[in-house]
Amino acid sequence: MTGWFETVAEAQRRAKKRLPKSVYAALVAGSEQGITVDDNVAAFGELGFAPHVAGLSDVRDLSTTVMGQDLSFPVMVSPTGVQAVHPDGEIAVARAAASRGIALGLSLFASKPVEDVVAANPQTFFQLHWVGSREYLLHLMNRARDAGVVGLILTMDWSFSEGRDWGSPSIPETVNLAAMTRFAPEALARPRWLWQFARSGAIPDLSAPNLAPPGKPAPTFFGAYRDWMSTPLPTWEDIAWLREQWGGPFMLKGITRVDDAQRAVDIGVTAISVSNHGGNNLDGTPATIRVLPSIVDAVGDRVEITLDGGVRRGSDVVKAVALGARAVMIGRAYLWGLAAGGQAGVENVLDILRGGVDSAVLGLGHSSVQDLSPSDVVTTTPSNTPIASDSRST
């Protein structure tokens, strides 16, 4: 395949080269000093393996299930809200996930309607934030249900922190003439990216179609974000109410503490994702792979557990599964693939991860991901060498 790349780090380099500076910065995201963004990646580097050399298995089963969905390997696409970086956005990602036999989470802030995404991949979970009134939430949920989504993900780890030491991108409210004029010098420096949109006849869509109130047009991304910021914050009773209203598979995303995991189990969620929003929540929250074992110990027999944050390699996936996650969810890794090569770029990233999972399962002497256990992982001394692909390098 032309444009094939061999690692996620290379996808990131290509995304950086291809995208206008502020668009790339929107994918890098992160908060404050970036301690958590970096720790998510670094903590995987502090875990190692002790591979066998003989008696290995020729055939390996990588499949698993999460919330009733079959996954061909233990990876799902985590919901992210900035896929308008490519004209095909969430549709390209959904098709790539379908072609590799995995499920995806669709962000509430997505740039494509949920109906079109479900048509591209029937294994679509719809992600909600607690936004607006209960009536409005019911409307959003019912629309997703009618579209045929297979479950709901409620993301709770957002604390509206502002500012990044490496600077935040300036993204326009809508892409009108004034915004295009302001953005022109940056975009003209990336002619291939501009050409991609020109060829598709579309301009980057900064509206949020899945947040449209009944009978009203889609709000702008930032208009919707402001509504979310001004919504009174939910209690555990509110979340229990939402779960009951939904009735089907329900994931609570953003858990980093044992007591919150226990509360989530008490209100009857199907799954939790151990997540710090990819380092976009409170900076200083530890890497998710560090907190996973205590959460698995506390509630692992009562709820399905996934992990997201810092996954860049198949071996990261295997470390998380060995420590008790059923699967991981990925964010930036596929966003870089999307920016680098659209659907094919996302497929390329998924193939890299799948290959890495298979290789680690082979080396560890297992014939199935189900056989992985904490004894497969060894703790290595933290290295002073900086991780090569610094997630937030802009």
Ligand X SMILES: Cc1cc2nc3c(=O)[nH]c(=O)nc-3n(C[C@H](O)[C@H](O)[C@H](O)COP(=O)(O)O)c2cc1C
In the complex, the residues that contact ligand X under the rule CB under 6 A are 27, 29, 40, 78-82, 107, 109, 127, 155, 253, 275, 277-278, 280, 308-311, 330-333
Q: Which is nearer to ligand X, 149 or 364 (CB)?
A: 149
State the Cα–Cα distance between residues 286 and 44, nearest whole angstrom: 12
- What is the smallest separation between the CB atom of 203 and ligand X, expressed in angstroms? 20
- What is the smallest separation between the CB atom of 288 and ligand X, expressed in angstroms? 8
- What is the smallest separation between the CB atom of 254 and ligand X, expressed in angstroms? 8
State the Cα–Cα distance between residues 329 and 108, nearest whole angstrom: 17
CB 200 within 8 A of CB 36: no
Q: Which is nearer to ligand X, 171 or 299 (CB)?
A: 171
Q: Which is nearer to ligand X, 107 or 270 (CB)?
A: 107
- What is the smallest separation between the CB atom of 329 and ligand X, expressed in angstroms? 6
User: ∠ CA(358), CA(105), CA(273), 5° rounding?
Assistant: 75
Residue among 86, 129, 277, 366 flagged as catalytic:
277
Q: What are phi and psi of 170, to 5 degrees?
A: -100, 105
- What is the smallest separation between the CB atom of 28 and ligand X, expressed in angstroms? 7
Q: Which is nearer to ligand X, 155 or 256 (CB)?
A: 155
86 is catalytic: no
Q: Which is nearer to ligand X, 60 or 392 (CB)?
A: 392
Tokens of 126: 């719809």
Q: Please name the residue that has the structure tokens 């072609």.
A: 99
Distances in whole angstroms, Cα of residue 382 to Cα of each of 46, 291, 315? 5, 17, 17
Catalytic residues: 277
